[in-house]
Structure 1
Amino acid sequence: MTTFDSSRPPEGTALAATTVRAVRAWQLAPQPAGHAAGLPEPVAASAVAPAGPAWAEHRTRFAIELVADSVSGWHAPVSETVLQVIVDDLAAGLIGHDAAAPRRLPYRRRTGRHRAGAHARQAVSAVDLACWDLASRDAGTAVTDLLGGTVRSHIPAYASALGLDPAHDAAPESAAWITDAGFWGQKWPLTKQLIHAGPKTVAAVFGSLRQAAGETRFMVDGLGRCRLDEAMRLLPVLADLGVFFAEELLPPGSWGWHRLRSAGAGVPLAAGEHAIDEGEQIRLLTGGAVDVWQTDPGWSGGLARSLHTTELAADLGMVTFPHGDRLAAALALAGACCRDKIPSVEWHLTLEPLRQQVFTAPWAPEKGMLPVRTTAGLAALPVLPEATAVLEVTGS
């Protein structure tokens, strides 16, 4: 029987220009406190203080660099915990990997036991996205071209108002501004206060927002906060409001999720961003558990995995709305798909401007649209405050 070590090429094999020679980490500036400068006044009027600066993953964050002969691939930001998983489990096996061969990446040697869970999947996703960035920069072409061709040059964005208080007196003004700004739709949080106040209060608050929003699509995100009985009582309210979808009223896959799904009430249920492992993704997609699929290339295993589940969702009659945590990857995914598969991507009104501060050329919506990157690289290069890398792993 012939065996081979997938972590290194056969003897005498010439290494491609996209072969990874080293893995480096660069420390980024922490997320600043407060909101980003220039937040539109109608949005700022009902905005709540961002929680991110208190989170360890936002205080200490890094960019990873995959170094080839004449070009590097980048991904940012990653938390300290995710970086440690990359160093412990993935970095050594990446040395000698050809970033232009994405189907070989899952077979690279691993040196630790981190195989599942949120941080392990974020680490795998970060490496996958850095490889796409490297392959794109070496080829001098857009990532969408590597995915099979650029289908769309601009993608509609829906406004995520999760950083706004839906019960604030200024919230209807914010809802009206979102519509006037040209966003594809708007999504509002179902806060704990509203859940505890009950269906009548939810109907009054969201009814006011729905009226102010006009004819635009209106979505609700429960953030997994409801009990089953609370979610069941809210379904008729959301149906009366004509919500386009209700996201994670309960934690997807929990014991009450299928009872909620079977209740129906004409409310499409959305989930997927927290389905990080392959088996969980397939169970949600094929088990009749969701009506609307949400994938996050930064959490779900990377860009290739997200494209796979998007195609599967389309085959099953579902549209996909990529989660907004990794906007560059979401736009590349959407740019390689038609609008029937991915109608829109998420733009977080208060958080995304803070996320974009780590890049030298940040994205910003114009008339509710975001451009697909048509030049090399998944995203613009990260802003590196330090002159030297804080960590480097090379081959022996």
Structure 2
Amino acid sequence: MTLAVPASAQTAVAAPSVIRAVRAWQLLPQPAGLPPGLPEPVAAAASGPAGPAWAEHRTRFAIELVGDGVSGWQAPVGQTVAQIIADDLAAGLIGHGAAAPRRLAYRKKTGRHRRGPHARQAASAVELACWDLASRASAVSVTALLGGIIRPAVPAYASALGLDPAHAAAPEVAAWITEAGFWGQKWPLTKPLILAGPKAVAKAFDPLREAAGGGRFMVDGLGRCRLDEAMRLLPVLVDLGVVFAEELLPPGSFGWHRLRAAGAGVPLAAGEHAVDEAEQIRLLTGEGVDVWQVDPGWSGGLARSLHTTELAADLGMATFPHGDRLPAALALAGACCRDKIPAIEWHLTLEPLRQQVFSAPVQIEGGQLPVRTNPGLAEVPALLETAAAWEVTGP
């Protein structure tokens, strides 16, 4: 998809958005523990986000695509992803016009990394940085470049992953989420609850569902269930009236299709881990999912995410973007109507830590996230080092 650049901006895009150099800057590690300012019941029920326990959170970089007098950014990326960009993609980006995302696939690659999560994250980071550069060069928001701002704000659903649904404070959290105006709430099916069986799941989740009142309710299995465990949970999820159940099993697996065939009236959601194009199309067109989830930072970038969102809509499915790359997901949602993207994910304990990368974090109010009207996907990240970790330039 070629950027829909307004006529007034076309001249501005032509020269400044040509990439002259690619740089990586090291960022501070993600802080350990919970972010400050959480509501008391949320903090009480939280087990704490992974933080620096994950390698990609300990060693993080910002990728800079340098144009003529303007740069495009994407952050944070982990060390492995940054290395793939340096080894495989950076040299081929020199001379590329960031306003032509469809041409990215034809740029020279100098390594053999083509498929799999890290390769797709690297390709996604480069593509998102190109949108950021084209937006800043044209002084037009990314959502406007995607086709125009359809709505000024997008609802968010609260992801309670990292909270214990069996904790005594969990019902207070469920009530607070509804009162705070979130579109809905999603709770994890923890492994201890899955092992304890359907009655234990019902005992833990029934008070949450009641406390949520009329608010929408979802669950995330994180791919932890065996097929027999997932089958036994279906009646409980029907009783809970879940809007969707996310990844009870690994999507696309034999067990996943058996679960779909059971037809128990529980909408199944997946997509965030479908990183390669063929896998995305198989899930979407093979009657593998009821609800589509996409992450622009994992799926190949914004153009790819918009494509699969439109395809999902044509097939009668709503899309709920995954929250790992919130600024990109928000730009995508701002260009789509509510029927295509009803809401995007806001991780209660992790998102405030992710936002600390940026000088002006995204703020949520009344369960709504404002669509950015300024150029760029987000504010320029705050850098740790005074010199780039590496730089690739043209001849």
Shorter-normalised TM-score: what interval? over 0.9
1:324 aligned counterpart, secondary structure: coil
Contact 2:30 / 2:58 at 8 angstroms: preserved in 1? yes
Whether 1:79 and 2:78 are equivalent positions in the alignment is: yes
Whether 1:60 and 2:70 are equivalent positions in the alignment is: no
Whether 1:328 and 2:330 are equivalent positions in the alignment is: no
Deviations 1:45-70 (A, max 9, x none): 10112223111110000000000111
Aligned amino acid, residue 184 of structure 2: G
CA distance in 1, matches of 2:82, 2:42: 34
Q: Which residue of 1 aligns with 2:95?
A: 96
CA distance in 1, matches of 2:271, 2:130: 24
Q: Which residue of 2 aligns with 1:316?
A: 315
Q: Which residue of 2 aligns with 1:9?
A: none
Aligned amino acid, residue 155 of structure 2: P
Q: Within 5 Å, which residues of 2 pair with 1:324-363?
A: 324-363=323-362
Q: Which residue of 1 aligns with 2:229?
A: 230
Q: Which residue of 1 aligns with 2:179?
A: 180
Q: Within 5 Å, which residues of 2 pair with 1:1-396?
A: 16-396=15-395
Aligned amino acid, residue 213 of structure 1: A
Task: Give 5+ residue unaligned stretches, structure 1.
Answer: 1-14
Between 1:111-120 and 1:37-46, the stretch displaced more is 37-46
CA distance in 1, matches of 2:277, 2:47: 35
CA distance in 2, matches of 1:189, 1:49: 14
CA distance in 2, matches of 1:49, 1:347: 16
Aligned length: 383
Aligned amino acid, residue 210 of structure 1: R
Aligned amino acid, residue 201 of structure 2: V
TM-score, normalised to structure 1, is: 0.96
CA distance in 2, matches of 1:32, 1:144: 30
CA distance in 2, matches of 1:49, 1:102: 38
CA distance in 2, matches of 1:375, 1:61: 25
Q: CA shift at 1:41, angstroms?
A: 1.2
CA distance in 2, matches of 1:84, 1:60: 12
Between 1:100-109 and 1:229-238, the stretch displaced more is 100-109
CA distance in 2, matches of 1:271, 1:367: 27
Aligned amino acid, residue 40 of structure 1: P
CA distance in 2, matches of 1:357, 1:49: 16
Aligned amino acid, residue 103 of structure 1: R
Q: CA shift at 1:255, angstroms?
A: 1.3
TM-score, normalised to structure 2, is: 0.96
CA distance in 1, matches of 2:362, 2:168: 30
1:256 aligned counterpart, secondary structure: helix
CA distance in 1, matches of 2:162, 2:181: 19
CA distance in 1, matches of 2:389, 2:201: 49
1:45 aligned counterpart, secondary structure: helix
Task: Give 5+ residue unaligned stretches, structure 2.
Answer: 1-13
Aligned amino acid, residue 277 of structure 1: D
Structure 1 segments, 4+ long, off by >2 Å, are: none
CA distance in 1, matches of 2:184, 2:364: 13
